Amino acid sequence: MARSLVPTVCPYCAVGCGLTIVVDDGLAVGIEYMQDHPVSEGSLCPKGNAALEMLYHPDRLTHPLKRTGEGWLSIGWPEALDLVAGGLSKALCEGGPKSLGFIASSKCTNEESYLIQKMARSLGCANIDSCARLCHSSSVTGLGRALGTCSTTNILSDLANSRCILAIGTNFAENHPIIARWVFRAREAGGKLIVADPRRTPTAWGGDLFLQLNPGTDVALINGMIKVILDEGLINRRFIEDRTEGFSDLESSLEGFTLSEAERITGVSASDIVGAARAYARSPASAIVYCMGVTQHANGTDNVQALANLLLICGQIGRSGSGIYPLRGQNNVQGTCDMGCLPDFYPGYLSPEDPRTQGAFRKAWGSDRLPKAAGLTSLEMMDAALDGTIKAMYIIGEDAANTHPCSKRTARALGKLGFLVVQDIFLTDTARLADVVLPAACWAEKEGSSTSTERRIQWYEQAVEPPGEAMADLWIICSLAKRLGLNFHYRSSKEVMNEICEIVPIYRGVRPAYGKGVLWPCKKEGEISILHEETFPLARGRAIIRPVHFRRTAEETSSRYPFLLIIGRIGAHHNAGSMTMRSATLLGMAPHRFVEINPKDALSLGLDDGADVVVTTARGEAMARTRSTDRVMPGTLFMPFHFPGANYLVRGYRDEHSGMGELKIAACRIERC
């Protein structure tokens, strides 16, 4: 075969960096940098550079598997699909649509995500969710209520035009380093970077002002900044009057709130809170960048609403250099949400309770069984599996047994199902619990599109063949749908995208464009790179300011559990490690689970650097090696969640608005093994 170059998109985080796969004799043999890509400009992070290493790993699933009394048995596709269709149909017949649960994957393409939710809803089942639930459901709810959209308002390169950037709950210098390049261009042009985080991260090292707040106190910090802005008259009164509602309620809610109270709760000095507030409000163009340090809490929606309040009272939106940037953790979290892989939204964030939504999709899909109400979130599905309400689940590309909070409970729930099918590229811990495992093609082995964190829809072609009998998720879903009596006669991802562009409002006008991709929304006159320049897609075109009050959601420490454990991510890791732990390069950069501890705490406990320890919470324990560092404050620990077991430790508490689980903080103790 001839040597060829196939342009594609990195499969890791949602920055959407472009790269070119070098294919020789049918094999992916290398990567070339895409110099003209509008986001990455020829650069890749360590994960992007190692992206090919997962393709030919010996752990790849190559044949459908069914569970037997003696283990796994390889079977053909006809038998596998018949088994899956039979298992789902049996549950549907005996318990109705509410007895089914579907979990989609942010590693799938837009087209595949669209089809899996279409399958679920065409069967009358509203229980369709995705890993986005545990990434940015707080953003979907919080920004949706405040602004009418839940995506980044400006393109990533526009960060270079900011004159003040508030980075909160994000360590982009390590986890989204391509974004860091745009931020540091802003600093080179005179912009100021304010970093708020409980941990002194590489992002904080590059900042002008570091606000090291106590874990779980984001609302108190943001309200403290808002209080300064109100008291000093730094608000944008014209913007507030012309384009928002609810400002007077916010003023009233903070009348008794003081800077000394904010300092006491957050641990950040009043002078630093004042400095941050003045810098953000006075700047001609300020941006807010945040990630899962803000969203993955039982009060994540409050955190997001508080940030929206801050930008709205200052009018820092709808202009170049301003806006808000919720950074997604997986490559297609944005697209998965756009496609309706959420129990409370049809594609395009349309309410299932709106008769217009029902009418449009009933006509487009030719189904009279579409659910008219929201279904269960992925966490609620596990509750329903434990109580026997849900009897069968179809999980694609999600290792819920490791990624869910209090994940041992999730494993118990999956084990109680009458039927479980898992579709993935590796035999994950979740797949090991299944009755049938379907081998999927990975990113380089199929065609389709994904939508990055900046709303950029990018198309890519298949570069190489999948191993063995592994197949693209789109083929698997369509083949299964036909066995379930659904009319899924799609021959390519392009046919699916054509349907999406016809019926999903935010994707109308979008047409495939290889290379730089296309931003949504896409109007006749061109792409929209800055949202909300003149209006908001809410009632009366106004954004909504809602007061939020600080409430302590971090688990209280005690004599038994005297430390607060922070769970997070580092540069060589991705999610629960199903891909990065199968990359020799990335695993070599961080091969062991570690726990960061402040030197004062290490000394008091007699723990040397590199000591083998056990970290214990009320839910379970995990082994780790200590790293003594002043990155963490006394009384706090930090552990990456990359290795299986870390999410055993956190609570199952949930955000009442978004259903987000508490994934960041847990009270714990640390002891030498």
Decide: 194 and 165 in contact? Cβ < 8 Å: yes
The CATH T-level fold of domain 4-54 is: N-terminal domain of TfIIb (2.20.25)
Residue 66 forms beta bridges with which residues? 73, 436
E strand segments, 380-488: 392-396, 419-424, 436-439, 448-451, 456-460
CATH 3.40.50.740 range(s) for the chain read 65-135+332-527
CA distance 315 to 238: 9
Tell me the average pLDDT across 483-503: 94
**Of 25-39, 140-154, 575-589, minimum mean pLDDT range:** 575-589
Q: Is the distance from CB of 220 to CB of 262 less than 8 angstroms? A: yes
High-pLDDT (> 90) share of the chain, %? 81
Query: Dihedral angle at the C-alpha atoms of 10, 149, 340, 449, nearest 10 degrees?
Result: -30
CA angle 381, 383, 384 (to 5 degrees): 60
Residue 5, both tokens: 């170059």
Q: What pLDDT is stored for residue 21 in this prediction?
A: 96
The string of DSSP letters for 517-564 reads: -EESSEETTEE--BS-SS--SSGGG-EE---------SPPP-SSS-EE
CATH number of 65-135+332-527, picked from 3.10.105.10, 3.40.50.300, 2.40.110.10, 3.40.50.740: 3.40.50.740
**Separation of CA 89 from chain center:** 31
pLDDT value at 525 more than 60: no
Which region among 37-41, 320-324, 399-403 has the lowest average model confidence (pLDDT)? 399-403
The predicted-structure confidence for 567-615, as pLDDT tens digits, reads as follows: 888 878 887 778 888 888 988 888 888 999 999 999 999 999 999 999 9
- Predicted confidence at residue 524, as pLDDT, reads 60
Strand partners of residue 627? 596
Give the residue range(s) of CATH 2.20.25.90 domains in the chain.
Answer: 4-54
Instruction: List 494's β-bridge partners, or say none.
Output: none
Tell whether the model's pLDDT for residue 134 goes beyond 80: no
Q: Where in the chain is the domain with CATH 3.40.228.10?
A: 137-326
Residue spans in the chain of domains classed CATH 2.40.40.20: 563-672
The CATH architecture that domain 137-326 belongs to is 3-Layer(aba) Sandwich (3.40)
**Domain boundaries 563-672, CATH class:** mainly beta
Q: Work out the number of other CB atoms within 10 angstroms of the CB of residue 122.
A: 23
Give the pLDDT confidence score for residue 60 in this predicted structure.
Answer: 97
Write the pLDDT tens digit of every residue in 318-330.
999 999 999 988 8
Condensed to tens digits (0 to 9), the pLDDT of residues 215-261 reads: 999 999 999 999 999 999 999 999 999 999 999 999 999 999 999 99
